[in-house]
Amino acid sequence: MVRTNELTRLLGAICFAAEKHRTQRRKDVDASPYINHPIEVARILADEGGVTALEHLQAALLHDTIEDTSTTGDELESRFGPWVRALVEEVTDDKSLPKAERKRLQIEHAPSLSAAARELKLADKICNVADLGRSVPKDWPLERCVDYLEWAEKVVAGCRGVNARLEACFDETVRESRRLLLNRAAEP
Ligand code: NDP
Ligand code: ZN
């Protein structure tokens, strides 16, 4: 049974993330509200991964706030505590680096992340890979989508050993998204 205090703190993280991402959109053709993504990542962690720790779910809701908005680590710590701040920072790319380098570092760093960060990465990649299967971003040729799936598989290879259910969910999701993308590309 989730305590009222915990529900309030979970809802606080949703509201904080919604406010921070309020002007942003996802890359799908409908340009869905960005907040759909962190909410779905938290759902995957809880529902597919069986994760129940409040702070872990709060970090999932907040995982893109430092990377993609003006949110600071200090701000997260004062609102949600040092553990949530540390977990969000662990999954945040260094935006001062070129994109290709950031992508390479995600693969290289994955095995040395904490167990909680590896679970969060798994849920994040499940969500993005599922999104690509549902709706290809405008101006993304098939090759770029396939490259993304391959890169996600390499990051996830370094996240294995922490949550068998999330790993199985990723494997199934990447298989299904690859099938959908290739089938659509083969359509006349
Ligand atoms: P990007 O890094 O540009 O986009 C993928 C990221 O966008 C995801 O990790 C996710 O991050 C976020 N995202 C938002 N909406 C969606 C959605 N609907 N589906 C999936 N992800 C979404 O993609 P690439 O890895 O392809 O590109 C990396 C760099 O290389 C870019 O600079 C790009 O311009 C360049 N490039 C790459 C090509 C390729 O073939 N790979 C071709 C041409 C250029 P989050 O979880 O943080 O929201
Ligand atoms: Zn994300």
Residue type, 185: A
Tell how far the Cα of 38 is from the centroid of ligand 1, in angstroms.
16
Ligand 1: which residues within 6 Å by Cβ?
26-28, 37, 64, 99, 124, 128, 131-132, 137, 143-144, 147-148
pTM for this predicted structure: 0.95
Tell how far the Cα of 121 is from the centroid of ligand 1, in angstroms.
15
68 a catalytic residue: yes
Residue 95 confidence (pLDDT): 93
Long-range contacts of 136-140 (CB under 8 A, 24+ apart): 136/28, 136/29, 136/181, 136/184, 137/27, 137/28, 137/29, 138/27, 138/29, 140/27
The string of pLDDT tens digits covering residues 54-103 is 999 999 999 999 999 999 999 999 999 999 999 999 999 999 999 999 99
Catalytic residue among 6, 67, 75, 93: 67
**E-state strands within 33-152:** none
User: 106 and 93 in contact (C-beta within 8 Å)?
Assistant: yes
Instruction: Indicate the fold that domain 4-186 takes in CATH.
Output: Hypothetical protein af1432 (1.10.3210)
Is residue 33 classed as helix, strand or coil in its secondary structure?
A: strand
